[in-house]
């Protein structure tokens, strides 16, 4: 099973920008930790980062037939992008929204996520550990889907016998 991790604008600047909010960890370090967690669970993980909304929409759409789950930190697009929301809704792939900072403790304009309503869940405010929590959550979701498919296949086989 494959998880695609999509990182939005300015996340390539982690470790440099606003360390008081986002901490000193770089994006590459977060990805390394996620890769290790994926490997432990027999999952494949692929990473994508863009500062451009259209590229993020394109990558979400490319997940059809290529990915079993999406973990996304839409960053500032969380609060503004109907296009990203619509892409997530359209692909019908389990998606978890992640934020390093607690968006609900920040400026009021950051409190509303346009993305969360079309996601399986939202993890916010645990620093880089938010990504680890998303990997655990996505692993659980994918295992449940796999078990449902296996149960359906067994039921169909039993009906045909």
Sequence-separated (6 or more) residues with CB below 8 Å from residue 57: 83, 84, 87
Contact 70, 60 (CB under 8 A): yes
Tokens of 97: 């929204």
Interatomic CA distance for residues 126 and 25, integer angstroms: 13
Interatomic CA distance for residues 68 and 43, integer angstroms: 10
Catalytic residue among 77, 79, 99, 111: 99
Catalytic residue among 22, 77, 131, 132: 22
The H or E element that residue 125 is part of is none
Asked about 99 being catalytic, the answer comes back as yes
Interatomic CA distance for residues 47 and 32, integer angstroms: 10
Closest residue by Cα to residue 46 from 6, 19, 16: 6
Asked about 77 being catalytic, the answer comes back as no
Task: Report, as residue numbers or ranges, the catalytic residues.
Answer: 22, 99
């Amino acid at each position: 099973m494959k998880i695609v991790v999509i990182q939005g604008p300015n996340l390539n600047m982690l470790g440099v920008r606003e360390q008081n909010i986002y901490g000193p960890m770089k994006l590459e370090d977060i990805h390394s930790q996620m890769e290790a967690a994926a490997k432990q669970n027999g999952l494949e993980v692929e990473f994508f980062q863009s500062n451009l909304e259209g590229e993020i929409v394109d990558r979400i759409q490319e997940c059809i037939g290529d990915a079993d789950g999406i973990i996304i930190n839409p960053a500032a697009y969380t609060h503004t992008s109907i296009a990203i929301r619509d892409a997530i809704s359209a692909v019908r792939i389990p998606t978890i929204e992640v934020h390093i900072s607690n968006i609900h403790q920040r400026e009021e304009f950051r409190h509303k996520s346009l993305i969360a309503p079309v996601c399986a869940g939202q993890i916010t405010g645990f620093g880089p550990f938010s990504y680890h929590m998303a990997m655990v959550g996505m692993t659980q979701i994918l295992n449940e889907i796999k078990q449902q498919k296996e149960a359906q296949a067994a039921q169909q086989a039993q009906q045909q016998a």
